[in-house]
């Protein structure tokens, strides 16, 4: 009987030790936090998407100490959305299923962010966007969704007003049929028509290689300006072929055009004729007073200059880190809930980022956003950051 009691006691002690060990493991896990990024890390838009992730990575490295001092281990969880809505949504489902992930920095494409953020919303997961400009990103009114850049219903107007300032009397408008590209093209067209700029055509295309069918009406109409709503990987091919076919007018695009790869594709054809301009919600990193150290640190870490939106990736991560810190402190230094993080992001006031000072309005837009119009100065991709800023505007979002 003694042996049976001893065996039972030993099993009890062993079980108790196992439970204690599991409890310690759970306690340790409870202090582990992940922050996800979603952007194109592969494919023809990866040159920008990778640097959004890198900007966020650098911010976590440099600004994660307050959370580390509180006993948290914070990790980056990067996801490749491939600039594809289906991939973004599939990733989003994986992201929300991991309870350690408390926020997402991303995306690059509005057409990916909008459906993906529906998944974040249903799971209460905070999303801070460094680049998405379609109005629907925020006009759905989701607590979880915020952006630190401006909107296409303003950027389209900025582009149309700039075209008029150049003296253009006629324009042919093209878009890529995405939520982003078509959306901003429609805002551009509406403003252009209101101001008396003659719109000779409005066409959507998914063509990536041969634009002959589109170029025929463009060349026949001989517009003063060709406007493209969409991404550089498509626009640069169109602009190059138009110039080679004899178009001598001006090209104008949007912040989707803002990549040094545009000159790798189109080269000197962007400089010839009436030249090439683009509007953007993200000026070159050097234009912001707070980015000198960021640029130097980025180049030291990644051996390249930051692409557009890398600095916004940094600021988006900085906002997330501060919000998690605030939420944790409010909860007695315990791991905060996703809801607490989402509320803490929206409650930040005058947050000092490297690309600006951020306060979000009731739907997650910054209360004031910067807009730029930039001229392509060189056919050399290494000189993309030296493009001329010809206009800078600070504009509040439309009233909801």
pLDDT category at 6 given cuts 50, 70, 90 is: very low
Averaged pLDDT, 318-329? 98
From 2-6, 24-28, 139-143, 333-337, the region with the lowest mean pLDDT: 24-28
Sorted by where each begins, the domain ranges of the chain are: 31-149+287-367, 153-280+372-395
Backbone angles phi, psi at 146, to 5 degrees: -140, 160
Residue-level pLDDT at 18? 43
pLDDT on residue 11:
41
CATH code for the structural domain at 31-149+287-367: 3.40.50.2300
* pLDDT 10s digits, 295-313: 999 999 999 999 999 999 9
Mean pLDDT value of segment 99-107: 98
| pLDDT at residue number 21 | 40
Rounded to an integer, the average pLDDT of 285-296 is 92
The pLDDT tens digits of the residues spanning 37-83 come to: 999 999 999 999 999 999 999 999 999 999 999 999 999 999 999 99
Residues with Cβ within 8 Å of 212's Cβ and at least 6 positions away in sequence, in order, are 241
Percent of the chain at pLDDT above 70? 92
| Own/partner long-range contacts of 339-347 (Cβ < 8 Å, ≥24 apart) | 339/124, 341/102, 341/103, 341/126, 342/124, 342/125, 342/126, 342/143, 342/144, 343/143, 345/103, 345/126, 345/128, 345/146, 345/319, 345/320, 346/143, 346/146
Q: Does residue 347 register a pLDDT over 50?
A: yes
Sort strands 250-253 and 225-229 into parallel, antiparallel or unpaired.
Answer: parallel
Reported confidence tier of residue 161, pLDDT bands at 50, 70, 90? very high
CA pseudo-torsion sign 36, 294, 319, 137: negative
What is the tens place of the pLDDT at every residue in 162-183?
A: 999 999 999 999 999 999 999 9
Is the pLDDT at 127 greater than 50? The verdict is yes
Per-residue confidence (pLDDT) for residue 399, from 0 to 100 = 82
pLDDT for res 15: 43
| Mean pLDDT for the stretch of residues 348-357 | 97
- Predicted local distance difference test score (pLDDT) of residue 1: 43
Identify the burial level of 287 via C-beta atoms within 10 angstroms of its C-beta, where 0-12 means exposed, 13-18 middle and 19 or more buried.
Answer: middle
Average of per-residue pLDDT values in the chain: 93
Q: Indicate if the pLDDT at residue 341 is higher than 80.
A: yes
**Res 182: pLDDT:** 97
**Which tens digits make up the pLDDT trace of 209-247?**
999 999 999 999 999 999 999 999 999 999 999 999 999
> pLDDT (tens digit, 9 = 90+) per residue, 254-283?
999 999 999 999 999 999 999 999 999 998
CATH T-level fold of 153-280+372-395: Rossmann fold (3.40.50)
How many angstroms separate the CA atoms of 113 and 83, rounded?
9
Categorize the per-residue pLDDT at 128 as very low, low, confident or very high, splitting at 50, 70 and 90: very high
pLDDT (0 to 100) of residue 17: 42
Identify the pLDDT of residue 190.
98
Q: Taking 70 as the threshold, does the pLDDT of residue 23 lie above it? A: no
Backbone φ and ψ for 240, nearest 5 degrees, come out as -60, -45
Question: What do you get for the CA distance between the two ends of the chain, in Å?
Answer: 79
Please state, as a whole number, how many other Cβ atoms lie within 10 Å of the Cβ of residue 14: 10
């Amino acid at each position: 009987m003694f042996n049976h009691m001893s065996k039972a006691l030993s099993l009890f002690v062993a079980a108790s030790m196992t439970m204690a060990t599991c409890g310690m493991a759970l306690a340790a896990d409870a202090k582990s936090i992940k922050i996800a990024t979603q952007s194109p890390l592969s494919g023809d838009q990866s040159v920008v998407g990778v640097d959004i992730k890198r900007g966020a990575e650098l911010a976590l490295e440099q600004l994660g100490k307050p959370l580390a001092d509180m006993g948290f281990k914070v990790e980056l969880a990067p996801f490749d959305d491939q600039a594809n809505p289906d991939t973004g949504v599939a990733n989003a489902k994986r992201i929300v299923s991991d309870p350690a992930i408390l926020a997402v920095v991303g995306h690059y494409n509005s057409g990916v962010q909008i459906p993906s953020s529906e998944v974040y919303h249903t799971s209460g997961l905070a999303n801070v966007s460094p680049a998405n400009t379609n109005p629907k990103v925020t006009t759905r009114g989701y607590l979880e969704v915020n952006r630190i850049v401006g909107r296409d219903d303003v950027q389209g107007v900025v582009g149309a007003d700039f075209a008029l300032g150049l003296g253009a009397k006629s324009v042919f408008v093209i878009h890529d049929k995405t939520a982003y590209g078509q959306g901003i093209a429609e805002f551009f067209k509406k403003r252009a028509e209101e101001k008396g700029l003659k719109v000779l055509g409005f066409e959507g295309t998914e063509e990536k290689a041969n634009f002959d069918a589109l170029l025929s009406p463009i060349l026949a109409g001989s517009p003063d300006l060709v406007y493209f709503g969409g991404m550089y990987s498509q626009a640069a091919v169109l602009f190059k072929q138009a110039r080679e076919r004899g178009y001598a007018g001006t090209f104008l695009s949007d912040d989707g055009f803002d990549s040094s790869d545009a000159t790798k594709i189109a080269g000197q054809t962007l400089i010839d004729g009436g030249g090439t301009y683009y509007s953007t919600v993200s000026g070159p990193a050097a234009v912001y007073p707070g980015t000198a150290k960021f640029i130097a640190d980025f180049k030291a870490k990644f051996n390249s200059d930051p692409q557009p939106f890398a600095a916004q990736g940094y600021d988006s991560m900085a906002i997330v880190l501060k919000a998690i810190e605030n939420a944790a402190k409010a909860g007695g230094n315990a791991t905060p809930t996703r809801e607490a993080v989402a509320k803490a992001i929206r409650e930040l006031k005058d947050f000092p980022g490297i690309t600006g000072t951020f306060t979000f309005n009731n739907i997650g837009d910054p209360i004031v956003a910067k807009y730029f119009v930039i001229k392509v100065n060189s056919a050399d991709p290494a000189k993309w950051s030296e493009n001329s800023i010809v206009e800078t505007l600070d504009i509040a979002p439309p009233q909801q």
